[in-house]
């Protein structure tokens, strides 16, 4: 009878024939999960320290394990570690090499744990590290955004609804809306981190272990805030990965909205901004082209992250308790979502300082859309006219200005007074862009004074103040 090599497969004793090469390739995950090697070693060392503390393994075994793991770290960092498809995943690759280096101590490392709780621990450690990196990059992006907003705090531009000119705002105020979006993103990632930061190790395969382990000790060693309190749930839960992808999808949606505006603003029909050449590409046939490839690609990558969220939800929707091999499919979507978010944050933090406003074009656009019409309605309301009547009067004034091909401030006082006798000479100060901006002088308003105050508050939040 053809017997499998029991030194190759940890579970080979149960089987009467070796795994086929096709199955081996289909079930292996080492090509993508080896990125978790640092987390795997970190978790294994904490587990080993606990086993020694509880006298489950000897101090000598612990020393050997620590020595062997240090050697493995050196080999992986040097690029000399040999990853084997035959060993399925990052966990078995490291364990087998450890055993080759230190002998029986390496075989004792897996006492009291299973690959089920081991992989659940590794992926939580990996995601926690990734969230911490993302939070740092979010702050870098936000800081660059605040610098640009401060520079453009008083630069007038049209605010839009339905992509039609609505009211005057400042470019700095518009940029602060982007800041608010990413502030919520940071809060969501912090919230996801809390639920990620629970230790599954100790749940073993699904029912716990008969050894006298100390899970709280391992949790403290690894910086977890607590332990997963049900062994079945501990090994099968992937809510934290789904939550991360949901937060990532929202963040990418925000960056896609920013990207759409940058693409529009670069179009000569708007001409509101210039983006530094290093973030753009040209055309192979049209010499004049300067294409905003970075924002365009960010829009496209947003759909990619949406897909990962859907994939993980679908992956989990029919799984009975506890662990199933299906869960191997959680890593590639999660890893790619992490990569896509971090790459996008990194390049946008670099790109924001390369954005230059074109204030003359912004002001020209304000002259084309009757942007101060609401200010005229508010003026009449303050004079005692009910707002609905004021709204109607201003609508008639806009229609007349449109017929004449002029903006509201270009109508004569006499012409304006035909729509309401309440209009006086002071109206022209109200109808200026600067007057409109200055009038919105409250928290959340677009007055330059309020924009600068909002920037100061935002900087305080970023610095932890």
> What residues act catalytically?
162, 283
Cβ pair 169, 159 in contact under 8 A: yes
| Length of the chain as a residue count | 465
Q: How far apart are CA 204 and CA 201, in angstroms?
A: 7
């Amino acid at each position: 009878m053809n017997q499998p090599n029991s030194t190759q497969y940890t579970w080979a004793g149960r089987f009467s024939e070796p795994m086929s090469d096709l199955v081996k390739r289909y079930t292996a995950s080492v090509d993508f999960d080896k990125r978790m090697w640092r987390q795997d070693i970190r978790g294994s060392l904490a587990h080993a320290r606990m086993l020694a503390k509880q006298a489950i393994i000897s101090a000598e075994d612990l020393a050997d394990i620590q020595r062997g793991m240090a050697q493995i770290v050196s080999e992986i960092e040097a690029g000399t570690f040999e990853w084997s498809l035959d060993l399925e995943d990052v966990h078995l690759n490291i364990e087998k090499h450890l055993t080759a280096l230190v002998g029986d101590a390496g075989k004792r490392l897996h006492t009291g744990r299973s690959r089920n709780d081991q992989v659940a621990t590794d992926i939580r450690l990996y995601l926690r590290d990734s969230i911490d990196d993302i939070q740092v990059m979010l702050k870098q992006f936000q800081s660059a955004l605040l610098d640009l907003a401060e520079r453009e705090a008083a630069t007038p531009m049209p605010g839009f609804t339905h992509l039609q000119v609505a009211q005057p705002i400042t470019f700095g105020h518009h940029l602060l809306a982007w800041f608010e979006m990413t502030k919520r993103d940071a809060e969501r990632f912090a919230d996801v981190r809390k639920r990620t930061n629970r230790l599954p190790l100790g749940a073993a395969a699904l029912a716990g272990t008969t050894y006298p382990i100390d899970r709280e000790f391992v949790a403290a060693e690894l910086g977890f805030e607590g332990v997963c309190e049900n062994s079945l749930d501990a090994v099968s839960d992937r809510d934290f990965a789904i939550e991360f992808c949901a937060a990532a999808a929202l963040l990418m949606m925000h960056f896609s909205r920013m990207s759409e505006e940058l693409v529009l603003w670069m179009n000569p029909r708007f001409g509101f901004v210039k983006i530094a050449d290093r973030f753009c590409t040209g055309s192979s046939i049209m010499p004049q082209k300067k294409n905003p490839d970075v924002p365009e690609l960010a829009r496209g990558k947003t759909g990619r992250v949406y897909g990962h969220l859907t994939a993980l939800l679908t992956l989990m929707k029919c799984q009975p308790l506890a662990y199933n091999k299906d869960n191997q499919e959680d890593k590639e979507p999660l890893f790619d979502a992490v990569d896509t978010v971090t790459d996008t944050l990194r390049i946008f933090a670099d790109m924001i300082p390369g954005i230059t406003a074109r204030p003359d074009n912004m002001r020209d656009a304000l002259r084309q859309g009757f942007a101060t019409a609401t200010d005229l309605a508010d003026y009449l309301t303050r004079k005692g006219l009910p707002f609905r009547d004021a709204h109607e009067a201003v609508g008639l004034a806009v229609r007349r200005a449109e017929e004449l091909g002029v903006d509201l401030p270009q109508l004569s006082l006499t012409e304006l007074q035909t729509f309401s006798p309440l209009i006086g000479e002071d109206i022209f100060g109200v109808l200026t862009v600067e007057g409109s901006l200055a009038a919105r002088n409250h928290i959340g308003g677009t007055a330059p004074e309020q924009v600068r105050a909002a920037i100061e508050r935002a900087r305080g939040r970023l610095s932890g103040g």
